[in-house]
A and B are shown apart, each in its own frame.
Chain A
Amino acid sequence: MKELAKRFDYLFRSTRGLALVAIAAVGIVTAIWGTLSGPMVEWGVRDITVNLLGMDLIQADREGRIIMLYHTIAMTIVAIEVYFMTEILPMKRHEQVLINGTITVGYLLAMIFGLFFGYFGHNFAFHGLFLVGQTLVFFAGIMLVAALWPWKKDYLLPEGSPYARTKNGVDVERAAFFVMAIATLISATWGAVTGSFWANGHETFLGEDLIRIPHKTALQKAIIGHLHIMLTLIAVAITLIVGKWLDFKGKLHQWAMPIMIIGTITITFGALSIVWMPWAHNTIYVGSVFVMFSALLYVIYSWDKMIKEGTADIEKPNFFQKLKALVDDPFKFGSGWQMVFMNFTVSGVGIFMAIKLEEIFRVWPHREERITLTGHWHILSGIIATIILFYFMDLSGIKGKARKWAGWIIIIGSDLAFGAATVFSMKRLFVSDTAQQPLVNTTMLIMDFGLAAILVLLAIFLGWRLIDLFAKDGVWSNEFAAEKQANAKADLEAQKQKLAEIQATLDEVSK
């Protein structure tokens, strides 16, 4: 019993354990719900899942169900990012505990009851608990914003710090996290306000189904803005997180962080102002340029660092030695590479669509345009997921051959799949409906192959972490001990500081 309690403690009271539970939760949802579409339908697996679990899939509710599914996964991804942030950003211990505790209850309620409501009959108690869960996630966000307050004296950076700071010593990176968190809360409100109108005559829709309707309501536009910006902000958050992971600093950091703040504010304003501004898209483009430029600076810094560290013992490294050093650690290389790759499959496609909308995309049938739209944001979600995996697998201490295999399977598998998905979604550029069969068959197979490789890898990783929980001195135990030690040290520092403050007060009173 005591041993079980220890594991429970690790899983729900340490940030690593919480992140592991959340990743496992997304993995399980992906494994089960992934059988409801794509090739799994063709192979008859969907029917088995539906019958085995007793799912109630009413055709008219499909769009609503998908929205519930997106939200349950998004809440969990947000929770994972928040766990990472509370671990890597200095904050008070009680703030970390409160934020992590609240968001954990929140995402679990949202996930469990959202899926129950969406897929197992419309019991409105489930819907209520889904909303309670989302509210708790939002509340955790407010606490995160408070904890990240960058002007707090404790978090100012000393003069000469290699990290971006203002003249007054404000940590600009912390400010970037802070701005991203505030932007996320505002953007979540956009969705929540519209969502609250659902029972009052507003009807469920998927954004891609509305694109050709000439007159959209303000609430419809609010939802379209909401879904775009939430995913963007999740991407901004993971970019900042991996920046901490690779100890992003120096001149490029000093440029990148203010640029990221400007980009985050601009792109958020642009996406939300779509409700009332006809030229909101231009604001979004400007914001995107800033955000992507900031990410580019991170990529330049991290690759340069990897090359320098990998060739430190070579006096004059040649190109191939530098290249070998760059790709030696696929986890760290991959975090930047996926951002570069994103430009071909997400940003590039988006910009191309915007420029050629009239001449190309609006000439295609709506269904083709819809596929391109859903394709590019599914790919962005997938890329974010791969970067989270790189980071968490690194935290889990995967080394040696396992690290290389895992890293390259993720990079090659995802890039093959996302590249094929991009070709598939843009197929009308190079092949007519009449002659598309070989291209469709090939791209579909590559997508299935790439995604299956990653999912199998994820299953192996989670299986390993599950087995590890049975070991007395497993990875979990070391992680837990290290975190306890770090927390104890932080508590000790806090106590010392508190004691010093009390002593100062006493000294002042006794004078």
Chain B
Amino acid sequence: MKKMIFSLLLIGLLATACAPAPNVGAINDLPYVDTGVDPEAWATVPAGDFYASQHDHLTYVDEFEIMITDVTVEQYANFLNEAIASGDVTVGEFDLKVAEELTLQKEGAGGYYEGDPFDAYKHEEEIEEGDQLFAAMEEGLRMDYDGSTFTAMEAYVNHPMTMVTWFGANAYCEYYDTRLPLDLEWEKAARGTELDADGHGRPFAWGSDIHGNYANYYSSADLFEKMYGKLGNTTPVGFYNGQTYQGYETHNSVSPYGLYDMGGNVWQWTGDDYHDQHYRNMRGGSFYTYEVDLRVWKYNSAGPTHYAPEIGFRCAK
């Protein structure tokens, strides 16, 4: 009897684990949520010093402007349509060089990139001039393509654009005469210039503490995790603005300069091309990561051809 109870418990536990948990790419039935935040808005970050990195190094950054939200799916769909019309983007098969001897073929939207300086350092991959994939047309892309026009899926109109390569992020910004923010710019925009009560620069864009309703991260129990399991999904840009959605109360998690989602939701590509490496950095953590990756100094990195449902971007100028 005891053995039976034990076995049943074990089977029950495993069955719970194996219960259908939808792939994030297959979730298309989520409700549209209006956050009231304008993704076209920009913030100015004045020139001056700020405390950079985990160890608070006083660092000077020139004045710049930065988008207050990540680029949305709708904004990116509009870009693709405009760029296709202007001949800057084409749709078709692209070579995706992920390593020196590994090139994949992917269908999607892409365009020209001028290439990177190559130092031939250990582990560095050469990024050559030529056509590059911007966004792959596969499960996870929150757009429909009818053969001539990209349209954002209704539920994802105001969610951050994901499944976008660094080339795709860079192309979007350059198309509108802007650029990706540099690492230091991104960090200053996130944490501001003040020291907190412990004598450190802000660890999070909104302050020193973090709770589930402050940002979208792994197991933060947000509205969409309640619907689709704890790996969750992206939230609309600017979701954590103090509003209550269907009974779910959010914290107003703006950065000192009024930016949203500078921790969690999606990693954000940054623009630096560092010497001796081909990796591009991402900042801010995502809905897949634990809260520690939301700290403003944390980095993630990948080759510029990488794309994922947890990676997006915003622009600066």
State in angstroms the CA–CA spacing of A434 and B276 once bound together: 31
List B residues 78-121 near A (Cβ within 8 Å).
98-102, 121
One of A290-298, A393-401, A437-445 contacting the partner? A437-445
Check if B17 sits within 8 Å of A445, measured CB to CB.
yes
Closest to A62 in B: B292
* Contact across chains for B219 and A58 when beta carbons are under 8 A apart: no
Whether A251 sits at the interface, judged by CB under 8 Å, is: no
Please determine whether B301 and A366 come into contact, CB atoms closer than 8 angstroms.
yes
Cβ-closest chain A residue relative to B305: A363
Q: Please state if A42 and B219 are interface contacts (CB–CB under 8 Å).
A: yes
Q: What's the minimum C-beta distance from A13 to chain B, rounded to whole angstroms?
A: 41
CA separation between A58 and B275, bound complex, in Å? Answer: 33
Is there an interface contact between B277 and A212, defined as CB atoms closer than 8 Å?
yes
Q: Are A367 and B309 in contact (CB under 8 A)?
A: no
Instruction: Tell me if B22 counts as interface (CB < 8 A to partner A).
Output: yes
Cβ–Cβ contact B230 & A42, under 8 A: yes
**Is B257 interfacial (CB 8 A cutoff)?**
no
Beta-carbon nearest neighbor of B232 in chain A? A437
Is the pair A58, B55 in contact by a Cβ cutoff of 8 Å?
A: no
**Which one of B98, B198, B230, B276 lies within 8 Å of A58 (CB-CB)?**
B198
Verify A434–B102 contact, CB threshold 8 A.
no
Would you call B122 and A435 a contact (CB within 8 A)?
no
On whether the beta carbons of B300 and A365 are closer than 8 Å, the reply is yes
- The distance from the CB of B25 to the nearest CB of chain A, in whole angstroms, is 4
- Asked whether B121 lies within 8 Å of A434 as measured between CB atoms, the reply is no
Leading 4 A-B pairs by shortest Cβ distance: A59-B203, A434-B25, A445-B17, A434-B140
Asked whether, in the complex, the Cβ of A60 is within 8 Å of the Cβ of B54, the reply is yes
- A315 contacts the other chain (CB 8 A): no
CA distance A216 to B306 in the complex (A): 25
Q: Is the CB of A367 within 8 A of B293?
A: yes
Give a binary string over A58-92; 1 marks a CB under 8 Å from any B CB, 0 the rest: 11101100000000000000000000000000000
Q: Does B308 contact A (CB under 8 A)?
A: yes
Are B276 and A212 neighbours in the complex by a CB distance under 8 Å?
no
Known: A434-B140, A437-B24. A442 touches B300 (CB 8 A): no
Q: How far is the CA of A440 from the CA of B231 in the complex (A)?
A: 8
In the assembled complex, the Cα of A500 lies from the Cα of B275 at a distance in Å of: 74
Q: Which residues of A contact B (CB under 8 A)?
A: 41-42, 58-60, 62-63, 203-204, 209, 212, 214-215, 357-359, 362-367, 432-438, 440-442, 444-446, 449
Given A59-B204, A212-B277, A434-B140, do A359 and B302 touch, yes or no (CB 8 Å)?
no
Check if B54 sits within 8 Å of A63, measured CB to CB: yes
B288 touches A433 (CB 8 A): yes
Tell me the interface secondary structure of chain A in the complex. helix
Q: How far is the CA of A359 from the CA of B23 in the complex (A)?
A: 26
Which residue, of B101, B230, B289, has the highest number of chain A Cβ atoms within 10 A?
A: B230
**Scoring B residues 48 to 62 as 1 if CB is less than 8 Å from chain A, else 0, what string do you get?**
000000111000000
Across the interface, which residues of B come within 8 angstroms of A212, CB to CB?
A: 123, 277, 279, 301
Tell me if A363 and B140 are in contact (CB < 8 A). no
Q: Does B147 contact A (CB under 8 A)?
A: no
Q: In the complex, what residue of chain A is closest to B18 when comparing beta carbons? A: A442
Query: Could you tell me if A437 and B200 are in contact, using CB atoms closer than 8 angstroms?
Result: no
Contact partner, A363, options B99, B139, B230, B299, Cβ 8 Å: B99
A-B contacts, 24 listed (Cβ < 8 Å): A59-B200, A59-B203, A60-B56, A60-B295, A63-B54, A212-B279, A212-B301, A214-B123, A359-B99, A363-B102, A365-B282, A365-B300, A365-B308, A366-B300, A433-B309, A434-B23, A434-B25, A434-B138, A435-B23, A435-B139, A437-B21, A438-B18, A440-B231, A445-B16
Which of chain B's residues have a CB closer than 8 A to the CB of A63?
Answer: 54
Query: In the complex, which residues of chain B have a beta carbon less than 8 angstroms from the beta carbon of A362?
Result: 99, 123, 303
Q: Which residues of A contact B275 (CB under 8 A)?
A: 214
Q: Does B8 contact A (CB under 8 A)?
A: no
Q: Is the CB of A59 within 8 A of B23?
A: no
Contact A203:B55 (CB < 8 A) given known A214-B276, A365-B282, A437-B229: yes
Please encode chain B, from 172 to 211, with 1 for each CB lying within 8 Å of some chain A CB and 0 for all others.
0000000000000000000000000010110110001000
- A359 x B101 contact (CB < 8 A): yes
B289 CB contacts on chain A under 8 angstroms: 367
Contact mask for chain B residues 275-315; partner A; CB cutoff 8 A; 1 contact, 0 none: 11101001000001111110100011111001011100000
Which residues does chain A contribute within 8 Å of B140, judged by CB atoms? 432-434
Chain B 113-155: CB-based contact to A (< 8 A → 1; otherwise 0): 0000000011110000000000000111000000000000000
Contacts of B203 in A (CB 8 A): 59-60
| B20 touches A (CB below 8 Å) | yes
Q: What chain B residues lie within 8 Å of A449 (beta carbons)?
A: 13
Instruction: Select from chain B the residue with minimum beta-carbon distance to A59.
Output: B203
Would A358 and B123 count as touching, CB distance under 8 A?
yes
The digit string for B1-28, where 1 denotes a CB below 8 A from any CB of A, is 0000000000001101110111111000
Closest to B203 in A: A59
Query: How far in angstroms is the closest Cβ of chain B from A74?
Result: 22
Query: With contacts A434-B309, A436-B231 known, what are 7 further pairs, Cβ within 8 A?
Result: A58-B198, A62-B292, A358-B100, A359-B101, A434-B23, A438-B20, A445-B16
Query: Is the beta-carbon distance between A41 and B219 smaller than 8 angstroms?
Result: yes
Contact of A441 among B55, B198, B204, B229 (CB under 8 A): B229
Point out the residue from A62, A359, A441 that lies within 8 Å of B17, measured CB to CB. A441
Indicate which residue in A42, A59, A363, A445 contacts B13 across the interface (CB closer than 8 Å).
A445
Closest Cβ of chain A: how far from B51's Cβ, in Å? Answer: 10
Please measure, in the bound complex, the distance between the C-alpha atom of A449 and the C-alpha atom of B303, giving whole angstroms: 36
Query: Which residues of the other chain, B, contact A214 by a CB distance below 8 angstroms?
Result: 121-124, 275-277
Beta-carbon nearest neighbor of B279 in chain A? A212
CA distance A359 to B277 in the complex (A): 15
Cα–Cα distance between A441 and B163 once the two chains are bound (Å): 22
The 8 A CB mask of B213-227 against A (1 = contact, 0 = none) is 000000100000000
A363/B303 in contact, CB under 8 A: yes
| Minimum Cβ distance to chain B for residue A29 (Å) | 20
Contact of A442 among B17, B277, B299 (CB under 8 A): B17
List, in ascending order, chain A residues with CB within 8 A of B163's CB.
434
Asked if A366 and B279 make an inter-chain contact with CB atoms under 8 angstroms apart, the answer reads yes
List, in ascending order, chain A residues with CB within 8 A of B306's CB. Answer: 363, 365
Task: Known A365-B301, A449-B13; judge A437-B204 contact (CB<8 A).
Answer: no
**Contacting A434 at CB < 8 Å: which of B24, B229, B299?**
B24
Give CA–CA (A209, B288) in the complex, Å.
Answer: 18
- Who on chain B is nearest to A444 by CB? B17
Q: Residues of B contacting A41 with CB < 8 Å?
A: 219, 290-291
Of all chain B residues, the one with the shortest Cβ separation from A358 is: B99
Q: How far is the CB of B7 from chain A (nearest CB, A)?
A: 13
Among candidates B20, B204, B299, B308, residue contacting A433 with C-beta atoms closer than 8 Å = B308
Contacts of A366 in B (CB 8 A): 279, 299-302
Q: B residues within 8 A CB of A441?
A: 17, 21, 229-231
Residues of B close to A60: CB separation below 8 A? 54-56, 198, 200-201, 203, 295
Q: How far is the CA of A59 from the CA of B290 in the complex (A)?
A: 13
